[in-house]
């Protein structure tokens, strides 16, 4: 019996991959999706059945927000049965945030959701977009013994497949724009696509569960030497804030000045959740390793371990959206839910 072709759904949200230069202003702006497929006739040669949906108004990913994440999660839910994999074309600037958010919103995936984009528009001769698009589609359709090889939310960029919630954009010029410092690539594309099978997330063993409640009542406080008491206090006392990502130094360290610790302590007493995420891109938070993080642990700051800033923001929005009791929320934050942290 002939093997049936994999079916992949391409969702175009916007980003450089589908942009062109505005002749009047010289700035890059999104163009319509039909032009994108015209630019890549190779797509017709695939042994994969490809369908596409494009946002009516494609966006630069700097305009990404939680309602679009909900829209994307619902699109995947609505088309989940009909397709073997999904490719989301997305601007690279906030791609790691979207990949992280979707990883939490889509539980028990047994099919791949691959985000990709490019640094140069697809119509430009030296574009990186064609390779990114073509290989992302190939990975989205790839199966072994009839089952998808990849069953998680990933980013494919410049010959590497990454776990999405482990990435960050680190370069605005190089084609190799993403890094995943605390987790190895899931695959590398050379002559063949070599999957790192031990690194892949285990297939979901239940039915897909889609979470669409997100709460963005969070703020980020990035520490620097000389932080002002007045402004720190005003940030921590912001009305309506439910959680704070505290971007700390090194292995999760912060000033031991009394006023600072007291401000954090008071915020925690008001029910604000404080998550300690290091400013370092590699390594992890170990609260108590230094004297300068012991006080954080003692007052109830939660360790983000080796989670990225992008993933921490998305995880907080996801968990707050579930309106969990405080103790459960704290426990889930420290727990590895979708491969986003090494406990």
The answer to the question of residue 164 lying near ligand ASP (CB under 6 A) is no
> Are the C-beta atoms of residues 119 and 175 closer than 8 Å to each other?
yes
Interactions with ligand ASP, residue window 114-133 (CB under 6 A):
117, 119
Q: Which stretch binds ligand ASP (CB under 6 A): 14-22, 149-157, 247-255, 330-338?
A: 14-22
C-alpha angle 299/301/303, rounded to 5°? 140
Query: What is the sign, positive or negative, of the torsion defined by CA atoms of 114, 120, 122, 127?
Result: negative
The answer to whether residue 304 forms part of the interface with ligand ASP (CB under 6 A) is no
16 catalytically annotated: yes
Q: Identify which of residues 14 and 164 has a Cβ nearer to ligand ASP in the complex.
A: 14
Point out the residue whose Cβ comes nearest to ligand ASP. Answer: 91
Question: How many binding residues for ligand ASP (CB under 6 A)?
Answer: 11
Q: Which string of x and - marks every residue 40-79 that binds ligand ASP (by CB under 6 A)? A: --------------------xxx-----------------
CA–CA separation, 263 and 40 (whole Å): 55
Strand 6-12: give its sheet, edge to edge.
48-54, 6-12, 85-89, 113-116, 153-157, 160-163, 187-189, 193-195
**Per-residue tokens: 100:** 């992280």
Binds ligand ASP (CB under 6 A): choice among 33, 70, 86, 93? 93
Residue whose CB is less far from ligand ASP, 13 or 308: 13
Residue 297: CA count within 13 A, CB half-sphere:
16
Catalytic hit among 13, 16, 116, 248: 16
Of 6, 8, 11, 15, the one binding ligand ASP (CB under 6 A) is 15
Least gap, CB of 28 to ligand ASP (angstroms): 7
Nearer to ligand ASP, 80 or 162 (CB): 162
With H, G, I as helix, E, B as strand and everything else as coil, classify residue 101: helix
How many Cβ atoms from other residues are within 10 Å of residue 79's Cβ? 15
Calculate the alpha carbon distances from 150 to 6, 75, 122, 255, 337 in Å: 13, 19, 26, 43, 17
Q: Which residues are catalytic?
A: 16
Give residues in contact with ligand ASP (CB under 6 A).
14-16, 60-62, 91-93, 117, 119
């Amino acid at each position: 019996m002939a093997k049936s072709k994999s079916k992949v759904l391409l969702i175009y949200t916007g980003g450089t991959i589908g942009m062109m230069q505005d002749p009047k202003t010289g700035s890059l702006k999104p163009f319509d999706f039909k032009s994108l497929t015209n630019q890549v006739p190779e797509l017709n040669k695939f042994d994969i059945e490809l369908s596409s949906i494009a946002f009516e108004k494609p966006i630069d990913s700097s305009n990404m927000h939680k309602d679009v994440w909900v829209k994307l999660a619902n699109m995947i839910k609505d088309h989940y049965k009909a397709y073997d994999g999904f490719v989301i074309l997305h601007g690279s600037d906030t791609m790691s945030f979207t990949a992280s958010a979707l990883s939490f919103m889509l539980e028990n995936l047994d099919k791949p959701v691959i985000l990709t984009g490019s640094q140069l528009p697809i119509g430009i001769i030296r574009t990186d977009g064609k390779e990114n698009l073509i290989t992302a589609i190939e990975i989205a359709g790839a199966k072994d013994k009839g089952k998808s090889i990849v069953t998680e939310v990933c980013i494919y960029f410049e010959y590497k497949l990454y776990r999405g919630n482990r990435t960050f954009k680190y370069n605005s010029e190089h084609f190799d724009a993403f890094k995943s410092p605390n987790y190895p690539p899931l695959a590398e594309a050379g002559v063949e696509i070599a999957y790192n099978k031990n690194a892949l997330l285990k297939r979901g063993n239940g039915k897909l569960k889609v979470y669409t409640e997100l709460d963005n009542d969070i703020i980020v406080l990035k520490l620097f030497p000389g932080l002002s008491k007045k402004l720190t206090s005003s940030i921590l006392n912001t009305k309506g804030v439910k959680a704070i990502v505290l971007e700390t130094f090194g292995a999760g360290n912060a000033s031991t000045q009394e006023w600072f610790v007291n401000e954090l302590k008071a915020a925690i007493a008001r029910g604000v959740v404080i998550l300690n995420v290091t400013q370092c891109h590699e390594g992890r938070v170990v609260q108590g390793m230094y004297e300068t993080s012991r006080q954080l642990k003692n007052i109830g700051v939660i360790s983000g371990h080796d989670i990225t800033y992008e993933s921490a923001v998305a995880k907080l929005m996801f968990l707050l959206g579930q309106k969990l009791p405080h103790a459960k929320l704290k426990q889930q934050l420290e727990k590895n839910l979708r491969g986003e942290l090494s406990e």
